[in-house]
Amino acid sequence: MESLHALAGGEFAPASTYLNTAVCGLLPRRTVRAVTRLAEELAEGRPGGSGESEAVDATRRSFARLAGVDEGRVAVGGSVSVHVGLIAASMPPGAEVLFPEGEYASVITPFTVRGDLKLRYAPLDALADAVRPGTALVAFSSVQSADGRIADLAAVRSAAAAHGARTLLDASQSAGWLPLRAGEWDYTVTGGFKFLLCPRGVSFLTVAEEAQEALAPMHAGTFAAERLWETTYGPIDELAHSARRYDEPPAFLAYHGGEQSLALLEEIGIDAVHAHVVALTRRFRAGLDALGHAPVPGDSAIVAVPGLGDRAAELGAAGIVVSSRAGALRAAFHLYNTQTDVDRALEHIGPRRLY
């Protein structure tokens, strides 16, 4: 399990026991160097502008390989909520959208603000059963932010196909440790600043070829043109033939870093990260059970312990960085974590307190 440190080549040296990747991933040193290099060039008066489109293209290609799709299916941007907003804005009035109860706000709110859509909610473990004739879209996260539960992806995908519903999968809490097969979904959205280890400002939208007809490129700018830099002024007469037509103008500092972060994940391999993370979280859950606590079960990188949310600040003071979500203590493990991190967290959590 510790071998990932060797594979990462000294890219990480956290000053704390960092178990908070569900909030924000640690930046590899190579990423920090890339961002710093561009920032220094910009301070000095960089002749080539604010950044290189080649870095954006390389980041797009790298994510496409990690997600198992052609790069022509991938659009880039700055946030998940903007990608979801594009999809929500393209829904016909009166369309029914189904969500899990307690889904992350960025997946839901772009649809609620429309005011003319029919929205339904179902328990996560009953989401597939809740798909029905007339459901236009099922929108959900592969891994729930609040407690780390992993959705039954096969069941939801099968139910949606049976009823002719499109699917929107948010992979923000899974891409980078759980293998992603984006081609199995009509749309996927992914924030890059968590398990993909990118600077904030990197995000991805994948669009199935048959779903592109239903998605209007509503924020098309110069980066959405088929021939970049040939249509800088006046209306773009030919949008990109690929999902690049849905690009937001990229934040170059973030993408110069993101290129390096995704390259590192490709070098290590998501299967290796997955095996490492699952081994750590099994050790952590077993330790919690032995201490009399009851973590949310599963093989997720995110471990939630209901009723311990008020201990997050105490652990933080001891140098163990975790979160409090929905009344639970939430710890999230990634490639830079070790068995020592697990054992230190367990030691500070201690046995169940009886009041």
Q: Which residue has the higher pLDDT, 4 or 98?
A: 98
**What is the spatial distance between Cα 128 and Cα 344, in angstroms, rounded to a whole number?**
39
Q: Each residue of 295-325: pLDDT tens digit? A: 999 999 999 999 999 999 999 999 999 999 9
Confidence of residue 1 (pLDDT cuts 50, 70, 90): very low
pLDDT band at 228 (very low <50, low <70, confident <90, very high): confident
Q: Which two tokens stand for residue 287?
A: 């330790």
- For the cut 90, the answer to whether the pLDDT of residue 221 exceeds it is no
The 10s digit of each residue's pLDDT in 29-86 is: 999 999 999 999 999 999 988 999 999 999 999 999 999 999 999 999 999 999 999 9
Reported confidence tier of residue 2, pLDDT bands at 50, 70, 90: low
pLDDT cut 70: percent of the chain above it? 98
What is the per-residue burial (b if ≥16 Cβ within 10 Å, else e) of 16-50? ebbbbbbebbbbbbbbeebbeebeeeeeeeeeeee
pLDDT at 9: 76
* pLDDT at 355 (0 to 100): 55
pLDDT winner (highest mean) among 193-202, 225-234, 237-246: 193-202
pLDDT at 354: 67
**Top CATH class, 32-267:** alpha beta
Task: Tally the C-alpha atoms within 13 A of residue 74's C-alpha that lie toward its C-beta.
Answer: 23
Domain segments of the chain: what residues?
A: 3-28+269-349, 32-267
Going through the chain in order, the beta strands assigned E by DSSP cover 17-18, 74-77, 96-100, 118-122, 135-141, 166-170, 187-191, 203-207, 302-306, 320-321, 323-325, 328-332
CATH number for region 3-28+269-349: 3.90.1150.10
Amino acid at 22: A
Half-sphere exposure of 264 (CA within 13 A, CB side): 29
Average pLDDT over every residue of 122-150: 98
User: In this model, does residue 353 exceed pLDDT 80?
Assistant: no
User: How do residues 254-303 score in pLDDT, each as one tens digit?
Assistant: 999 999 999 999 999 999 999 999 999 999 999 999 999 999 999 999 99
> Mean of the per-residue pLDDT values for the chain?
95
Q: Which residues contact 333 (CB under 8 A, 6 or more apart)?
A: 19, 21, 277, 280, 281, 284, 301, 303, 341, 342
